[in-house]
Amino acid sequence: MNITEKVKIGFKDYKVIQAPGPLVNDNSLVYGYIEYDNGEIHIANDHSIDTDNNTFVHECLHGIDDVVGIGLTEEQVNKLAGGVYAWIKDNPDIFASSIKEV
């Protein structure tokens, strides 16, 4: 997985900031967090590649939830992120070619 410097989620553009941790958000140590109003996703990149990638997926899922208004809980985002990241990692050929237009 390539964690890019920018990611578009719905109609919003986010700058992705990777920096050594620890990161603090709402007085808690975190692997990453998203700032909806500032358009930033912060990732502590001093963990394993899998942890960093899972964190990126996790924060992007928060962004998707914000755009589509599902109202996912943190626990639901945690579970989805683990599942989605595993699916991406285990099936890299799915994303190797361009998206087929219909």
Q: How far apart are the first and last CA of the chain?
A: 26
Exposure on the CB side of residue 10, measured as CA atoms within 13 A: 13
CA distance 34 to 10: 15
**Domain spans of the chain?**
6-93
34 φ, ψ (degrees, to nearest 5): -120, 140
Q: At what angle do helices 74-90 and 49-68 cross, to 10 degrees?
A: 120
Q: What is the mean pLDDT of each run of 10 residues along the chain (102 residues)?
A: 94 96 88 97 94 97 97 97 96 75 62
Q: What are phi and psi of 41, to 5 degrees?
A: -120, 125
pTM for the model stands at 0.90
Q: What is the pLDDT of residue 98?
A: 61
